[in-house]
């Protein structure tokens, strides 16, 4: 049966088309790009000697890669091939190697997140975002994608481009709930983007979705409250790290 599905998908890609139609399973590579200088500027200015010194020591962008394997009923997002070296410092994300499994049929998510010294296992329903669909269209990894915008954490603006050619309603991290697969995601306040670099039409196997679930079991709200409490003395540094943890 799986071979038949793959054959159908290959035939649907067709000769002369730039976009495959109705992909049922596969693997997507995302490049996550963080504008490190812009993040640093959030805590200083161009006249700040500390900021100027740090700019000269840290690359302008940090690129890492993640893979998302999917079929009609599930997806798993996890670190992919090695990207730019990322020393663990104040510029690092508190959840730099998240693994997120989504049961699309049951609309449930399990996310393993290393937040500084502690590992959490988030078990909850899929994140609900009041997406607003826009008319802007762009091509990403040879797929026609439509723009959608939404809000997380009460005030953090999110921009997504999704394709209806891939039927799984998933995407990077814990994002989804659109009429197709998210191939580009941007969170301007975090100076971070995720862009699909390639989409492979392959048959997903059960072992592709395996993951360890060792860690403190929490809901999304419980994790948010725990991090908020733990960072209460961080001042303006706290908000960004709470948002990053909530991805």
What is the distance between the alpha carbons of residues 199 and 205, in angstroms, rounded to a whole number?
16
Q: Can you state the angle between helices 236-245 and 220-230, rounded to 10 degrees?
A: 160
Over 90: is that where the pLDDT of 70 sits?
A: yes
Least confident of 48-62, 74-88, 158-172: 48-62
Strand order in the sheet with 26-35: 132-140, 143-152, 156-163, 181-187, 192-200, 26-35, 61-70, 74-79, 99-103, 108-115, 118-125, 216-218
Token couple for 46: 């161009």
* pTM reported for the whole predicted model: 0.85
pLDDT in tens, 21-42: 689 999 999 999 998 888 777 7
SS3 207: helix
Tell me, what's the pLDDT at 163?
Answer: 98
Domain boundaries, the chain: 25-245
pLDDT in tens, 88-110: 555 556 667 899 999 999 999 99
What is the distance between the alpha carbons of residues 191 and 20, in angstroms, rounded to a whole number?
31
Q: Which residue has the higher pLDDT, 147 or 231?
A: 147
Tell me, what's the pLDDT at 20?
Answer: 46
- Tell me how long the chain is: 247
Q: Are 181 and 172 in contact (CB under 8 A)?
A: no
C-alpha pair distances (Å), 210 with each of 74, 103, 122, 178, 206: 11, 12, 16, 25, 7
Q: What is the CATH number of domain 25-245?
A: 2.50.20
């Amino acid at each position: 049966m799986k071979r038949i599905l793959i054959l159908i998908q290959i035939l649907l890609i067709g000769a002369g088309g730039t976009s495959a139609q109705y992909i049922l399973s596969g693997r997507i590579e995302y490049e996550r790009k963080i504008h490190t200088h812009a993040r640093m500027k959030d805590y200083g200015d161009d006249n700040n000697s500390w900021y100027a010194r740090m700019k000269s020591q840290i690359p302008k962008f940090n690129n890492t890669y993640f893979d998302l394997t999917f079929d009609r009923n599930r997806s798993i997002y996890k670190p992919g091939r090695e990207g730019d070296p990322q020393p663990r410092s104040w510029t690092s994300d508190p959840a730099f190697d998240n693994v997120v499994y989504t049961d699309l049929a049951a609309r449930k998510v399990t996310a393993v997140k290393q937040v500084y010294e502690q590992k959490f296992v988030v078990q909850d329903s899929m994140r609900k975002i009041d997406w607003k669909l826009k008319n802007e269209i762009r091509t990403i990894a040879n797929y026609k994608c439509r723009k959608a915008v939404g809000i997380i954490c009460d005030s953090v603006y999110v921009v997504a481009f999704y394709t209806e050619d891939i039927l799984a309603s998933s995407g990077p991290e814990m994002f989804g709930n659109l009429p197709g697969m998210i191939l580009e995601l941007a969170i301007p306040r975090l100076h971070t983007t995720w862009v699909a670099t390639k989409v492979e039409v392959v048959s997903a196997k059960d072992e592709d979705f395996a993951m360890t679930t060792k860690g403190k079991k929490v809901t999304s709200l419980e994790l948010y409250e725990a991090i908020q409490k733990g960072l209460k003395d961080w001042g303006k540094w706290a908000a960004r790290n709470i948002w990053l943890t909530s991805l």
